[in-house]
Amino acid sequence: MPHSRPAPRPQIGQSILDLSTPLPLIDEVKVAANIARVQAYMDKSGLAFRPHIKTHKIPSIAAQQVAAGAKGINCQKVTEAEVFADAGFEDLLITFNILGPEKLDRLVALNERIGGLKVVADSDTTITGLTKAFADKKPLAVLVECDTGGGRCGVQTPEQALALAEQIVAAPGFAFGGILTYPKANSEAAVEAFFSQTVALLLARGISCPIVSNGGTPSLFSAHEVPSATEHRAGTYVYNDRAMARSGHCSLDDCAMVILATVVSRPTPDRAILDAGSKALTSDLLGFSDYGLIVDYPDAVITGLSEEHGTVDLSKVTGPRPEIGDKVRIIPNHTCVVSNLVDVMTFHRDGVVTRVEEVAARGLVW
């Protein structure tokens, strides 16, 4: 059934202060600076750079990252990789164990039409599934995922990594792509130890390791302390957020995303209610005790969210307090999850809307 009106969408040339809220906004100037700063560091460090598209989910932003020097991109789902393949990207690494017939079927089809598809595996089960799907197909590059202390996926020891690598090398339909980790922040020594030991074990068996892939934004500028790595992956750096500023990766001024919100109620002198709730900011705390930083009132505290309301404690705000109808800008705790909430993302330069991009890889369930 048709909507009575088209979904509201900002127009190019509008002032961001005239836009209806809540709405996430991206500062083009900060994005360009974030891309340039990190790429320059990777170039200086002799590391290939592979941005993770999870943060923006927009092909044109990935194109900016590649134009700046990124070697390829990182996706988390087959369907995301399809969106970016459609947009012309070829060097696509999917950092996920792909399991199940539907996903494997799509992975085979995707591999047939692009040149640089790669996936990861951390278990015999995943490799066996891939082996069956790719037995008589165009070979797929598979990297072994290593848990170097991050506590998520990955083999636990270099010996286990070697065993899986040998399984990949022996199976038809595969190329051994290398090793990969998603590390704990500030654990460069542990990553280097795991990587260097694994590469040595592989070399001793005559297996070369084309890619040694480290990752993460929080301690990205220490990536050069992992000399065994050949590439680094990171997503959040492109927009940055409150958690990245806390980690020391960037300053609050480097955060390209703000959520524009309006004060819709002032029930008491110390309480303001925003029209930005968990559907605009998400509930991600990432260790914070509140739900984002109000740039315009840094002493205000977003103490709680319901889906469409943010509750703000103004008791520590000295000086003028926001009134009903006032718009405020919020730096979210975590930018990537905000991108997943909206169908389009609004970009601006100096407060004037420059483009409205479809978040093409949003909402892909698997």
Q: Is 84 exposed, middle or buried (0-12, 13-18, 19+ CB in 10 A)?
A: buried
CA atoms within 13 A on the CB side of 71: 17
> According to the binding rule CB under 8 A, does residue 64 interact with its own copies?
no
User: What's the closest the beta carbon of residue 7 comes to its own copies, in angstroms?
Assistant: 7
CA distance 16 to 327: 10
Q: Given candidates 59, 72, 178, 216, which one binds its own copies under the rule CB under 8 A?
A: 59
Angle, in degrees to the nearest 10, between helices 158-170 and 188-204: 40
Write out the two tokens for 207.
């297996």
> According to the binding rule CB under 8 A, does residue 3 interact with its own copies?
yes
Q: Given candidates 11, 15, 251, 306, which one binds its own copies under the rule CB under 8 A?
A: 306
Place of tokens 């109808």: 325
Cis? peptide before 139, omega within 30° of 0: no
Q: Given candidates 106, 137, 246, 355, which one binds its own copies under the rule CB under 8 A?
A: 106
Q: Given candidates 54, 233, 242, 348, which one binds its own copies under the rule CB under 8 A?
A: 54
User: What's the closest the beta carbon of residue 189 comes to its own copies, in angstroms?
Assistant: 21
Q: Is 101 exposed, middle or buried (0-12, 13-18, 19+ CB in 10 A)?
A: exposed
User: What's the closest the beta carbon of residue 244 comes to its own copies, in angstroms?
Assistant: 15
CA distance 95 to 234: 12
Tell me the per-residue interface mask from 264 to 303 with its own copies, x by CB under 8 A, - otherwise. xxxxx--x-x-x--xxx-xxxx------------------
Distance, first Cα to last Cα, the chain: 26
Q: Which of residues 331-350 bind its own copies (CB under 8 A)?
A: 336-337, 340-343
Quick one: CA dihedral 322, 325, 331, 337, positive or negative? positive
> According to the binding rule CB under 8 A, does residue 44 interact with its own copies?
no
CA distance 305 to 290: 9
> According to the binding rule CB under 8 A, does residue 60 interact with its own copies?
no
Q: Given candidates 118, 232, 309, 321, which one binds its own copies under the rule CB under 8 A?
A: 309
Q: Which is nearer to its own copies, 39 or 327 (CB)?
A: 327
> According to the binding rule CB under 8 A, does residue 262 interact with its own copies?
yes
Stretch that binds its own copies, among 43-51, 117-125, 185-193, 246-254 (CB under 8 A): 117-125
